[in-house]
């Protein structure tokens, strides 16, 4: 099988020739940038550079899918948030973020703009997907990334006011979640139209390490389910941290795949979500992939597979400084399964 056939076989609950290996989150590293001569910040801003960096996941690492974008800022910027540059402490180029100066307060009424898809850097992102479709689309699946409703609402209001409002003013949150859901859904469908095969939704702020499990059920589940109902492609849901306390709810969102960090239990996810949910992840990015050696990475991969992971993947976004050999070690293990 080629990479696309392999990945789609798993998504269709068929037996692949071997286990797929790819990332639901950003997979770009500085070593890959050097290999393909495509660098940040242009990789966050210009379609041609973005596509070249994405393709490195396949051509350099051997991953079975390519993924764009590499930051969680596209919807928020198009909705009025200001960006802060992706500068690391040492002055190197990193991943841009959202300035802590939100465009709204709780007393405002957010509006979803009619020209949303032409705002900010979204046109360059869609162009990058079209380039990827032409370059590798028949052989390698393209993953288009969006941000989940709760995280976009957190960008529009800032996270602390959002979390306070879940307790003190819950009715005021709904308009922001509605606009946030529309933004992610619109971007997802535009990505599909441009050529994306899979949509990966990251909802970082919905993590149980930030909000109580009942907050996810009360505020986010409805909008995540609504969003996934409106997206026709296979859907990956990634929420950071240990999601054991909400994993049953994650299985009710309509996600086809749950992307799990190693803190979460694949066995519990299988028990709570049933036999049809596909589990991916398994390898810690902050310690194992970044700091350890390839043999340690391989041992962790083997344990993740034994625990029930069906798509071997980094547990979250890859740190840009991660060594190539550790990422390539993941592919070596996948080829044995």
For residue 286, the model assigns a pLDDT of 93
Please give the share of the chain, as a percent, with pLDDT higher than 90. 96
* pTM of model > 0.85: yes
Domain spanning 21-334: CATH 3.90.1640.10: no
Q: How far is Cα 169 from Cα 161, in angstroms, rounded to an integer?
A: 10
For residue 219, the model assigns a pLDDT of 92
For residue 156, the model assigns a pLDDT of 98
Number of H helices, E strands in the chain: 16, 9
For residue 214, the model assigns a pLDDT of 94
pLDDT tens profile 73-112: 999 999 999 999 988 877 789 999 999 899 999 999 999 9
| Averaged pLDDT for residues 261-267 | 96
- Contacts with 314 (C-beta within 8 Å, 6 or more apart), sequence order: 23, 25, 27, 281, 283, 285, 289, 327, 330
For residue 207, the model assigns a pLDDT of 95
For residue 282, the model assigns a pLDDT of 84
pLDDT tens profile 276-331: 999 999 899 999 999 999 999 999 999 999 999 999 999 999 999 999 999 999 99
| Averaged pLDDT for residues 25-43 | 97
Q: Are 319 and 310 in contact (CB under 8 A)?
A: no
Cα dist from 74 to 46, 122, 123, 138, 192, whole Å: 13, 6, 10, 26, 16
For residue 20, the model assigns a pLDDT of 98
Best CA proximity match to 57, nearest among 41, 73, 42, 43: 43
For residue 174, the model assigns a pLDDT of 96
Q: For the chain, what is the mean pLDDT?
A: 96
Q: Is a pLDDT exceeding 80 seen at residue 334?
A: yes
pLDDT tens profile 192-239: 999 999 999 999 999 999 999 999 999 999 999 999 999 999 999 999
Best CA proximity match to 84, nearest among 73, 69, 75: 73
| Averaged pLDDT for residues 19-34 | 97
- Report residue 158's pLDDT band, with 50, 70 and 90 as the boundaries: very high
For residue 238, the model assigns a pLDDT of 98
303: number of CA atoms within 13 Å, CB side? 12
For residue 88, the model assigns a pLDDT of 85
For residue 87, the model assigns a pLDDT of 85
Q: 83-84 and 97-98 as β-strands: parallel, antiparallel, unpaired?
A: antiparallel
Best CA proximity match to 19, nearest among 36, 35, 37, 1: 1
For residue 123, the model assigns a pLDDT of 98
Q: Is a pLDDT exceeding 90 seen at residue 268?
A: yes
| Averaged pLDDT for residues 150-172 | 94
Q: Which region holds residue 283: left if phi is over 0, alpha if psi is between -120 and 50, else beta?
A: beta
């Amino acid at each position: 099988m080629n990479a696309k056939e392999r990945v789609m076989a798993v998504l269709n609950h068929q037996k692949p020739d071997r286990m797929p290996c790819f990332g639901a989150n950003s997979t770009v590293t500085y070593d890959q940038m050097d290999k393909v001569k495509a660098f940040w910040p242009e990789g966050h801003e210009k379609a041609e550079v973005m596509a070249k960096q994405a393709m490195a996941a396949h051509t350099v690492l051997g991953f079975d899918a390519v993924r764009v974008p590499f930051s969680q800022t596209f919807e928020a910027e198009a909705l009025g948030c200001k960006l802060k540059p992706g500068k690391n402490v040492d002055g190197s180029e990193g991943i841009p973020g959202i300035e802590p100066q939100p465009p709204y307060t709780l007393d405002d009424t957010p509006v979803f703009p009619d020209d949303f898809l032409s705002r900010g850097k979204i046109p360059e992102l869609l162009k990058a997907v079209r380039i990827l479709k032409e370059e590798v689309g028949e052989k390698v699946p393209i993953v288009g990334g969006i941000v989940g409703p709760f995280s976009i609402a957190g960008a529009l209001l800032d996270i602390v006011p959002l979390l306070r409002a879940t307790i003190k003013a819950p009715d005021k949150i709904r308009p922001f979640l509605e606009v946030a859901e529309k933004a992610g859904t619109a971007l997802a469908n535009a990505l599909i139209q441009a050529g994306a095969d899979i949509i990966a939704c990251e909802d970082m702020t919905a993590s149980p390490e930030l909000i109580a499990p009942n907050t996810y059920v009360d505020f986010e589940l409805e909008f995540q389910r609504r969003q996934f109902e409106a997206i026709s492609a296979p859907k990956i849901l990634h929420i950071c941290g240990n999601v054991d306390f909400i994993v049953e709810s994650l299985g009710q969102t309509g996600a086809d795949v749950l992307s799990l960090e190693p803190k979460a239990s694949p066995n519990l996810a299988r028990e709570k979500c049933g036999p049809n949910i596909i589990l991916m992840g398994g390898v810690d990015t902050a310690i194992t992939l970044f700091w350890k050696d390839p043999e340690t990475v391989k041992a962790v991969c083997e344990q993740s597979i034994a625990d029930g992971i069906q798509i071997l993947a980094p547990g979250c976004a890859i740190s840009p400084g991660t060594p190539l050999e550790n990422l390539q070690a993941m592919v070596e293990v996948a080829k044995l399964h």
